[in-house]
Copies of this chain bind each other. A is one copy, B any other.
């Protein structure tokens, strides 16, 4: 015999399946809180929608889920193409699930339009994980709107947490602008690096190494073990020269083989230790408070800029003034004043 809650939830799901029609906010929220993956997926689609009604409905669902969110460890994982992100996340995810967790993997690929989307959608990338009932894999589409990808990803995190996923992985390619954004929405930032010195680093954007809470040297297998160990020592030495983190955490360097399932357990242990240490210090909560405020401020700033640049008078003058500034004919501050005076 079903409870009224289950009943209403089931009928909502039926509606969704049969007619692909929209549910009410309550129906989405009830479904998500009942850990219903189909309804979770539909709610994420609302967030991603460019249709105003769908989008607004999605926003209400997010706000309603907010009180049920936050109880996860949010992990950012980045690395250049070829570093073995997919196989790492597959092995890592399976291990995490074996520790009785539920994992959601959200993949951001700002470069998908250029590269053909190797990071994206493609669930065959993570064969075992994608079929596991305790895993949920979802690509985040490249959004064209202001701060769109970041916002949608953050909102998707909320929904996944409300749906009972207690480990959230945000996957991104370490070559673009998105790492700073990812850093500012996760608790723990893991950088995957290949063994061997120098050349393979060319693809990593400057500044990313200093963001890492842990570096994992991947592909420490198939005769590559010694190179990986050398790389670990080199990175340890390098990180030692970096200034200390504000939170007192010393970034760790580990070697791993997704193929041979080596080092994966260790990296999860480090992530858990990080959470425990930061929680004891109060830093875990403080970091999330700061992140939330920072997202609010950034959203306001982006929107103010958007309004400014949408002004037809600004649009009429901007190119000409920029040209003068670039050529040194007009000082940048004077130019800014000129443009600001016309709105």
> Which A positions have Cβ atoms within 8 angstroms of B?
59, 62-63, 66-67, 69-70, 151, 154-155, 158, 197-198, 201-210, 234-235, 237-238, 240-245, 288-289, 292-297, 299-301, 303-305, 308, 321-322, 325-337, 339-340
Among B205, B208, B243, contact of A205 (Cβ-Cβ < 8 Å): B243
Min CB gap A285→B, angstroms: 10
Q: Are B202 and A62 in contact (CB under 8 A)?
A: no
> Is B62 in contact with A151, judged by CB distance below 8 angstroms?
no
- Given A201-B242, A299-B337, 10 extra CB contacts under 8 A: A197-B241, A201-B243, A206-B243, A207-B207, A209-B210, A296-B325, A296-B333, A297-B336, A300-B336, A304-B308
List B contacts of A238 (CB < 8 A).
237-238, 241
Given A197-B241, A243-B201, residue A293 in contact with residue B332 (CB < 8 A): yes
Interface of A is mostly: helix
Q: Do residues A235 and B241 form an inter-chain contact, with CB atoms below 8 A? A: yes
Which of A69, A234, A243 has the most B CB atoms < 10 Å from its CB?
Answer: A243
Write the nearest CB–CB distance from A200 to chain B, whole angstroms. 10
Q: List 30 A-B contacts (CB under 8 A).
A: A59-B333, A62-B334, A63-B330, A67-B329, A69-B328, A151-B333, A154-B333, A155-B331, A158-B331, A197-B241, A201-B244, A206-B245, A209-B210, A209-B243, A234-B237, A237-B237, A238-B238, A288-B328, A292-B325, A292-B326, A292-B332, A296-B321, A296-B333, A296-B339, A299-B332, A300-B340, A301-B305, A303-B336, A303-B340, A304-B340
